[in-house]
Amino acid sequence: MGESAEDFADPSDGVLTEAAAVFGLLASPARLHLVWALSQGESDVTRLADRVGGALPAVSQHLAKLKLAGLVSSRREGRRQIYYVDDPDIVTVVRATVGQLTARSHEVPAPAGRLRGVGV
């Protein structure tokens, strides 16, 4: 961890804007749950709705937003549309973040609203 601030160039405004848009999409618990589920393997909308406990129309709308943003892709398989995360970096970020927070939640009870007031 001997890296200094000089080792990393600041990203461009365009990159920061794009990253903020991605994080904004993943800020929705429903969409994050969908990406989490899809990071485990591909699925159709019906199975996804069952897994995340969402209504089919709402899950379809979330998937459409994720697809439009390029976070999720799909392919047709007969009459079904199969969704998957086609970006291994997104899978890595989601798995690492959710996995770390899950591990922390089992270690020490987090105070209610721990993230409240820190810009979240």
pTM of the predicted protein model: 0.78
Give the burial class of 37: count Cβ atoms within 10 A of its Cβ; 0-12 exposed, 13-18 middle, 19 or more buried: middle
pLDDT digits (tens, 9 = 90+) for 50-104: 999 999 999 999 999 999 999 999 999 999 999 999 888 999 999 999 989 999 8
CA dist., res. 66 & res. 12, Å (int): 23
Whole-number average pLDDT of the chain: 88
